[in-house]
Amino acid sequence: QVQLVESGGGLGQTGDSLRLSCVASGLTFSLYTMGWFRQAPGKEREFVTRITWSGSSTDYIDSVKGRFTISRDNAKNTVYLQMNSLKPEDTAVYFCVAGLRGTTRWNYWGQGTQVTVSS
């Protein structure tokens, strides 16, 4: 079965950096656009960023642009989210997602990793 396993979350303070990792298995990694969503307490899940199979195209929501960087290593079936200059409003469970190339649907979701940022 397909698995997306996130890691790297934790507790940080305002201004800290964290790097999340997501290791995918059970799928042909190069066929998938990868991305990250997040869900803060009491709020709906929101899209954060995505990256195409080659890494040539990325997209970010405005609130993280310039602070977060998504990347992928296809040889390792891994996607990363480098988070710099963390803010309390970044506190959320972060989910790794995979969507088949040529579609607009996110097919697979990870279990999530908690990121907590204190002031």
pLDDT tens column, 37-82: 999 999 999 999 999 998 889 999 999 999 999 999 999 999 999 9
Q: Is the pLDDT of residue 31 over 90?
A: yes
| Rounded-to-integer distance, Cα 103 and Cα 89, Å | 31
SS3 22: strand
- One-character DSSP codes across 26-78: SS-GGGEEEEEEEE-TTS--EEEEEE-TTS--EEE-TTTTTTEEEEEEGGGTE
User: And the tokens for 56?
Assistant: 């040539």
